[in-house]
A and B are shown apart, each in its own frame.
Chain A
Amino acid sequence: MSQKNRRKIMVDIDTLIEKSLQGEKLATARLISMVERGDQQTPYILEKMYPHSGNAYYIGMTGPPGAGKSTIVNKLVKLFCKSSYRVGVIAVDPSSPFSGGALLGDRIRMNAKSQTYDYFFRSMSAGRAMGGLSRTTKEASRILDASGRQIVIIETVGVGQSELDVAKATDTVLVILTPESGDHIQIMKAGLLEIADIFVVNKSDRPGAENIAHSVRGMLDRRHARLQWRPHVFMTSTLMNKGINELHEGIWTHHRYLQQNGNLEKRRKFQIKEELQQRIETELSDILWQHIIDDEKIEQLVAEVWLHKISPLNAARKIVAEWLGKGKIIQKTFSTK
């Protein structure tokens, strides 16, 4: 698919950046696209935009499919806009593992008129990333931040139990549950529930909502002593328009907590460290694959593994060791034995 001539007008990248920093939507949208498709200019864009980011308050929304994440986002956007905040939203939906295409359907829940409310909504596909966000969601949210969005909401794909990337990208994580979210044992499990700063039991007009909220509170009671921040539990019903104002207030309560004792700084520094580690791994593996990918050795080893002559672990180590050897780097750390 050649999109070389996608834009009739060649746009100067610096002009785009300048316009985006002034808050122009068209420029911001285009920058996000460039970063999303891994344009050569990406490092330059990020270098120019990053110093202007960091001012926004990042809110994460996660939970199982159909729990009401997008609908709650819609309601919250309206409330934030009414308090004169400029809001940005990034909503991630899954990609097809077969065609790579995606049907991004979060925008349909947004009925806030853009003439009345100042928000920027962007849908993204998750691609091959498995953590609930796409590879470039974080960059896109930073571009929104730099373009003057004071609150950035990141909505994950509908998740199961262990898609936790949103906790690495946001200041406050809302986990949205429903009365159908399971029994007591589900609530006790590790993973998703541990990253919540705020719990929302949505669809609370349905039977079973009290049970879920009760289970969550019980779990928090047992964990209480180890928690610096005890997550609040809110019951909402977007259908009946109930509990949203309380939730909105609850988000600001967590925001106030973050402002105390350098909590926000601690959280963000921790996230930066994790991000750096992850990026180093990606950079390294990219380099590695450029060299290894067309090595016929791989095919040979596939055959050997298939015949059970060598285990996959040792085959992989062999490849890495040989590659390191080519680069005249000491092999000691990567023994094939």
Chain B
Amino acid sequence: MNRRIRVLMAKLGLDIHWRGVYLVSEFLKEAGMEVVYLGNSFPEQIVEAAIEEDADVVGLSTLSGNHMTLGPKVVKLLKEKGMGHVKVFMGGVMPPKDAVKLEAEHGIHKVYLPDTSMETIIEGIKSSMRDS
């Protein structure tokens, strides 16, 4: 019996924009994944939760400008704690050049900017599991 993909969804830091993260969580559930919804969290809590929940994927929602500071920190802490295999995805509002930088330099697997379709996100997560 294959285990379902476990996704830990969190809002980075004190960001209160909930609609995006709720919607994505719900769609991932409907795509057959197990979504652990964490709510607002800082990198330390996110990584602690990822360990205990044995997450395959961490999804970070950010719309408040903390993407360049807190995002890379999650990736760094995951590696330090022996969870380097976890794929970190980000979604939200940020300058496109930051998105490119996060993917290229900071180990974020994929950044989804506004107007990304749900299918893209779901397929992105599924394919990240296939080629890991």
What is the interface of chain A, defined by CB distance below 8 A to chain B? 1-3, 5-9, 25-26, 29-30, 32-33, 36-38, 96, 98-105, 107-108, 113-115, 120-123, 125
Contacts and interface: CB of A to CB of B under 8 A. Distances in A.
B54 A30 contact: yes
Contacts of B85: 6-9
B3 A107 contact: no
Interface residues of B, number: 39
Interface stretch (B23-31, B101-109, B111-119): B23-31
B33 interface: yes
Interface stretch (B45-53, B64-72, B89-97): B45-53
Contact of A101 (B2, B29, B37, B81): B29
Closest 7 CB pairs of A and B: A37-B3, A101-B29, A38-B1, A108-B39, A29-B54, A33-B54, A101-B32
Nearest to B27: A101
Interface in B73-132: 81-85, 126, 129-132
Interface of B: 1-6, 25-26, 28-39, 44-45, 48-49, 51-54, 56, 81-85, 126, 129-132
A6 B129 contact: yes
A7 B129 CA distance: 10
Interface centre among A8, A38, A104 (most CB of B within 10 A): A104
Contact of B2 (A1, A26, A115, A122): A1
Contacts of B30: 96, 98-99, 101
A114 B54 CA distance: 16
B29 A107 contact: no
Given A1-B5, A99-B32, A101-B33, A25 B49 contact: no
Contacts of B56: 3, 6
A113 B37 CA distance: 17
Instruction: Please report whether the interface of chain B is mostly helix, strand, loop or mixed according to DSSP.
Output: mixed
24 contacts: A1-B126, A1-B129, A2-B2, A3-B2, A3-B129, A9-B85, A29-B51, A33-B6, A36-B3, A37-B3, A96-B29, A96-B30, A96-B32, A98-B30, A99-B29, A99-B31, A101-B30, A101-B35, A102-B29, A103-B37, A104-B36, A108-B38, A108-B39, A123-B34
Interface centre among B4, B48, B84 (most CB of A within 10 A): B4
A107 B82 CA distance: 22
A29 B131 CA distance: 23
Contacts of A5: 131-132
A29 B49 CA distance: 10
Contacts of B130: 1-2
B75 to A, nearest CB: 16
Given A99-B31, A108-B37, A115-B44, 17 more contacts: A1-B2, A1-B4, A2-B129, A3-B129, A6-B85, A6-B132, A8-B85, A25-B52, A29-B53, A98-B30, A101-B28, A101-B29, A101-B34, A102-B4, A102-B34, A113-B45, A125-B4
A260 to B, nearest CB: 35
A134 B130 CA distance: 27
